[in-house]
Amino acid sequence: AILVFEVVLFTGAALVMGLIDEASLAAHAIAIQIASIAFMVPLGFGQAATVRIGRAYGAGDSEGIRQAGAVAFWMVIAFMSFTATMMVTFPQALIGIFIDAAKPENAVVAGLAVSFLFYAALFQLVDGAQAVAIGMLRGLHDTKVPMILAAFSYWAVGMPLGIWLAFGAGLKGAGIWIGLSGGLAVVAILLLARWQRRHILGLEKS
């Protein structure tokens, strides 16, 4: 359900981007495709964390739970740090997979895509962190509260912030991406805080 919320969030962002102009929508489509490809790795680590933590949870192995979560989390952080670096360092090469940025008619879209990739790079770490945190908590059979936290972060923080920045503050497409980053950051912080407090919350067997 949480993944559905995130997919709908990014779909909604595309719809709002279309209200700005065609170039922004095209640039958004390019940047989000690149970010989505990078997201597949933390998504996979999250699923692996669910299995490993679930096995340790069933065995009552507190140390196994901690280790499985730590390994998955830090591997995701390392990978997303790499993808963020690539997006900032080689944006033209990444965009060139989708369009020929050298053509004059593509100049506006390419320029916007480069700026959007910068914001995508900024949210790589929090996007990866929230993806793996969801998997970690799922391994503890904790799904309802994380779903509520995700819905709040995406739709009460991320989307309203993006819309206000885009139209109210005049940042246009950049505002949408900042809003997405903000929503992902909030859910990452909330989920990781819940993971850290798993003993207090009674999520882990004593």
Can you give the three-state secondary structure of 87-141, one letter per residue? HHHCHHHHHCCCCCCCCHHHHHHHHHHHHHHHHHHHCHHHHHHHHHHHHHHHHCC
Task: Give me the pLDDT at residue 159, please.
Answer: 95
> How many beta carbons lie within 10 A of that of residue 97, not counting itself?
10
Across the range 84-110, mean pLDDT stands at 94
Across the range 30-45, mean pLDDT stands at 95
Q: Are residues 161 and 183 in contact, defined by beta-carbon separation less than 8 angstroms?
A: yes
- What is the SS3 assignment for 171? coil
Across the range 106-120, mean pLDDT stands at 94
Model pLDDT for residues 175-196, shown as the tens digit of each residue: 999 999 999 999 999 999 999 9
Per the prediction, the chain carries an average pLDDT of 94
Distance of alpha carbon 57 from the chain centroid:
26
Kindly report the pTM of this predicted structure: 0.92
Task: Give me the pLDDT at residue 206, please.
Answer: 57
Percent of the chain exceeding pLDDT 90 equals: 91
pLDDT at 62 over 60: yes
Across the range 95-115, mean pLDDT stands at 93
Task: Give me the pLDDT at residue 3, please.
Answer: 76
